[in-house]
Amino acid sequence: MFCVQCEHTIRTPQGNGCSFAQGMCGKTAEVSDLQDMLVHLLQAVSLYAQAARKVGVVDTEIDEYVPQAFFATLTNVNFDPARIVAFSERAEGFRNRLKKQYLEACKVQGVKPEKLPAAADYQLPNAKAVMLSDALQFALNRQKKEVGEDVIGLRLLCLYGLKGAAAYMEHARVLGQTDVEVASKYHDFMAFLATDPSDMGALFQCAMDIGMLNYRIMQMLDTGETESFGHPEPTRVNMRPVAGKAILVSGHDYHDLKLILEQTEGRGINVYTHGEMLPAHAYPAFKKYSHLVGNYGTAWQNQQKEFAAFPGSIVMTSNCIINPEVGQYGARIFTRSIVGWPGVVHIDGDDFSAAIDAALAMQGFATDEPQHYTTTGFARNALMQAAPAVIDQVKAGNIKHFFLIGGCDGDKAQRTYYTDLAKAVPDDSIILTLACGKFRFNDLEFGDINGIPRFLDVGQCNDAYSAIQLALALADAFDCGVNDLPLSLVLSWFEQKAIVILLTLLALGIRDIRVGPTAPGFLTPNLVGILNQQFGLKLISTVEQDLNDILQAA
């Protein structure tokens, strides 16, 4: 195996990446290799999809399938080898269908079929042992010796960034948002990466183009969420349990939460959000359910302890899942969509009876715990509505700086930096946050500046789109560029969604972003240097040093 896609990857002086029996996430070498093979097959699909489009063949079912299957290879999504093989078999079937459609269209139009790279026609072996043997040649660090570490690093920056974009495409698709042009660009990038490109300029441009594509995808997802569930409104959310039977809904998929709320209504079950599902409380479509009682737990890395103590069933709608056997709740956790864990019941279709029955069979919470609240829901509309008041306070000198402190959480000890930073920013600063990194400080009291809360939870990771809209509005109001605003982005990353959001911000020209707790393992020091030179991208250092540098530069 070779996998270097998450922040947790093994790092040694000899090189970065999990390349032995298991990944640091618990993914076995078998699953990792099968995922490499799936990526190879998805690239084969894209090679044919790209060629087919040139003769007018567009197969939207296939367009919608490929990002979904690609999503299964993100960190902490699918650990089930049988499911990965099934995704690969379906990908091969779709590739064959596209190939047939393509060749028929060429024949009808009198066009000579293109000679595609050999990867386009890879035949999936029948036996898993042969798949694993084949998969060795698809390792993502192949050709390292020939092309060098920088090229491999850029290839991975593109591939991992595209994985993040694919995940958001799938989230948007669930909400009815698809776009043929977006799908075309996705295929272009996958097909390009299938050729093992080694031109650093072309790869760098590809990374920026993926970032711009993701901006459009986040916009689609924003549309899907607001059209389906309304515009989020600032909402106080109880972070403590209340007495009664319980279901916990984790991941990012609001559509699943809606189905669960509908199916549990009147059943005597309280529904809780977990992790990235917390911002759901701010949407009108969910606020109307009185049995959506609060949020339970914190960020994904604490789930083994928190889920073990949860006296009900748990539904994992998307990333991040980690080994449920450690906390021995494998029998009462259920996976959805692209998520998988060997032996865990997977819910296909829209019937959540299995999870509901499991919740009813459990004792639930015996008592109410003292309530403790956080506020969420400062998404696009709420921010835009607040913008005039915010601008007034900036002009009056009462708000001097904005910090966006957010991103993925993780279990590295140095992530206390983000808590310490949030505590240390001056009182005349506003803190915007998003994604599960917020759990590092969203239980703290930050107060307000003349009625404007100092702590604004924008939402999920994809709601970076809302934060960008606020930045653009402020830049417009002050007649300056976004980089001229007293706005500092201090991001935490763990996996590929964070990578693509970073690419989006860089592609939009946003400079001087700080990232931590460490640089992605696939970026060489040279590549980090280039990103620093071109975008002022920096790694976090100490709170004192960074805060001093940020405020002096402002």
Partner 1 sequence: MTSSRQPEKTDNMNAISNPKEFPVWQGGELRCIARSEETHDTASFVLAAEMPARFQFLPGQFVTIGVHIDDSVHYRAYSISSTPDRTDRLTLTVRRLPGGQVSNYLLDHLKAGAKVEATTPAGEFFLDEGVADDKLLMLSAGSGVTPVMSMVRWLLTRRPDADIHFIYSARSEQDIIFREELISMAQRHPNFRLDLFLDNASGGRDRHDGFLTPERLDALVKDAAERRIYLCGNQPYMDMVEDWHQSRGLAAGRLHKESFKPNAPEADPGSGSEYQFTAPQFGKTSKIRDGQTLLEIMEPNAIPIIAACRSGVCGSCKCKVVEGEVERVSTATLTTEELADGFVLACSTRAKSDLVVEMVF
* Those residues with Cβ within 8 angstroms of residue 86's Cβ, 6 or more apart along the chain or in another chain: none
| Smallest distance from partner 1 to CB 114, Å | 25
Residue 24 or 103: the one with the smaller Cβ distance to partner 1 is: 24
Residue 136 or 180: the one with the smaller Cβ distance to partner 1 is: 136
Measured CA angle at 143 (ends 138, 144), to 5 deg:
115
Cα gap 423→414, rounded to integer Å:
15
Give the CA-trace dihedral at 492, 495, 496, 497, to 10 degrees: -60
Nearest alpha carbon to residue 186 among 15, 66, 323 = 66
| Smallest distance from partner 1 to CB 315, Å | 21
Considering only 212, 326, 360, 477, the residue that binds partner 1 (CB under 8 A) is 326
Is 502 a residue that touches partner 1 (CB under 8 A)?
A: no
Is 85 a residue that touches partner 1 (CB under 8 A)?
A: no
| Smallest distance from partner 1 to CB 120, Å | 18
Strands 15-16 and 11-12, bridge-based pairing: antiparallel
User: How many residues at the interface with partner 1, by CB under 8 A?
Assistant: 35
The first and second tokens of residue 54, run together, are: 């040139």
* Those residues with Cβ within 8 angstroms of residue 276's Cβ, 6 or more apart along the chain or in another chain: 250, 251, 252, 435, 436, 460, 461
Considering only 86, 117, 125, 142, the residue that binds partner 1 (CB under 8 A) is 142
Is 367 a residue that touches partner 1 (CB under 8 A)?
A: no
Residue pair 337/318 in contact by the 8 Å Cβ criterion: yes
Considering only 129, 349, 353, 451, the residue that binds partner 1 (CB under 8 A) is 129
| Smallest distance from partner 1 to CB 333, Å | 13
Is 21 a residue that touches partner 1 (CB under 8 A)?
A: yes
Considering only 89, 134, 179, 196, the residue that binds partner 1 (CB under 8 A) is 134
Considering only 173, 188, 290, 304, the residue that binds partner 1 (CB under 8 A) is 304
Is 25 a residue that touches partner 1 (CB under 8 A)?
A: yes
| Smallest distance from partner 1 to CB 154, Å | 20
Considering only 178, 219, 223, 323, the residue that binds partner 1 (CB under 8 A) is 323
Give the CA-trace dihedral at 156, 162, 164, 169, to 10 degrees: -170
* Those residues with Cβ within 8 angstroms of residue 134's Cβ, 6 or more apart along the chain or in another chain: 37, 125
Residue 25 or 51: the one with the smaller Cβ distance to partner 1 is: 25
Residue pair 7/493 in contact by the 8 Å Cβ criterion: yes
Cα torsion 260, 261, 267, 271: sign: positive
Judged by CB under 8 A, the stretch of 58-66, 68-76, 128-136, 243-251 that binds partner 1 is: 128-136
Is 107 a residue that touches partner 1 (CB under 8 A)?
A: no
Cα gap 374→235, rounded to integer Å:
8
Judged by CB under 8 A, the stretch of 126-134, 185-193, 203-211, 248-256 that binds partner 1 is: 126-134
| Smallest distance from partner 1 to CB 23, Å | 6
Cα gap 136→87, rounded to integer Å:
18
| Smallest distance from partner 1 to CB 149, Å | 11
- β-pair partners for 401: 429
Residue pair 99/62 in contact by the 8 Å Cβ criterion: no
Considering only 82, 118, 136, 472, the residue that binds partner 1 (CB under 8 A) is 136
Residue 60 or 526: the one with the smaller Cβ distance to partner 1 is: 526
> Per-residue x/- mask for partner 1, residues 190 to 229, rule CB under 8 A?
----------------------------------------
Is 353 a residue that touches partner 1 (CB under 8 A)?
A: no
Residue 81 or 251: the one with the smaller Cβ distance to partner 1 is: 81
| Smallest distance from partner 1 to CB 336, Å | 22
For residue 146, count CB atoms less than 10 angstroms from its CB and return exposed for 0-12, middle for 13-18, buried for 19 or more.
exposed
| Smallest distance from partner 1 to CB 152, Å | 12
Judged by CB under 8 A, the stretch of 84-92, 303-311, 375-383, 517-525 that binds partner 1 is: 303-311
Backbone angles phi, psi at 73, to 5 degrees: -95, 5
Judged by CB under 8 A, the stretch of 209-217, 324-332, 374-382, 389-397 that binds partner 1 is: 324-332
| Smallest distance from partner 1 to CB 226, Å | 37
Residue 83 or 252: the one with the smaller Cβ distance to partner 1 is: 83
- β-pair partners for 462: none
Give helix then strand counts, H and E, for the chain.
Answer: 18, 18
- Restricting to residues 390-449, which ones interact with partner 1 according to CB under 8 A? 413
For residue 103, count CB atoms less than 10 angstroms from its CB and return exposed for 0-12, middle for 13-18, buried for 19 or more.
middle
Residue whose structure tokens are 């310490």: 420
422-446 residues labelled b (16+ CB within 10 A) or e (exposed): beebeeebbbbbbbbbbbbbbeeeb
Residues in the site for partner 1, rule: CB under 8 A? 1, 10, 12-15, 18-26, 28-30, 129, 132-134, 136-137, 139, 142, 304-305, 308, 323, 325-328, 413
